Amino acid sequence: MEIKREIWNYLISEENIPEQYKPITMWGYLGYQIVFSIPIIGWIILLVFAFSKDENINIQNSARSYIIFLIMSIVLYFIIL
């Protein structure tokens, strides 16, 4: 049982996770949200992160969810108007 735990701890340690799948801190997400909210430049960065295959999968998913949120906000705005 102890050997399985050691193997498991080795497999899930952060240095064994590929760069593409490493988790992002809460401050990292906050920083990306601030960058994405900058008009024009932030939107370009948002599109690059959302559709780039080389980016961290967590950043990519965060950017995609931000795009969906923007689209939903715009649609809701025009429905209410």
10-residue mean pLDDT profile of the chain (81 residues): values are 68 74 91 94 94 90 95 96 88
| Cα distances (Å, whole numbers) of residue 81 to 75, 76, 77, 78 | 10, 9, 6, 5
DSSP 13: S
Whether residue 1 contacts residue 9, with contact meaning beta carbons closer than 8 Å, is answered with: no
- CB-based contacts of 32-37 (< 8 A; 24+ apart in sequence): 32/59, 32/62, 32/63, 33/62, 33/66, 36/63, 36/66
pTM of the model: 0.77
- Domain ranges for the chain, please list them: 24-80
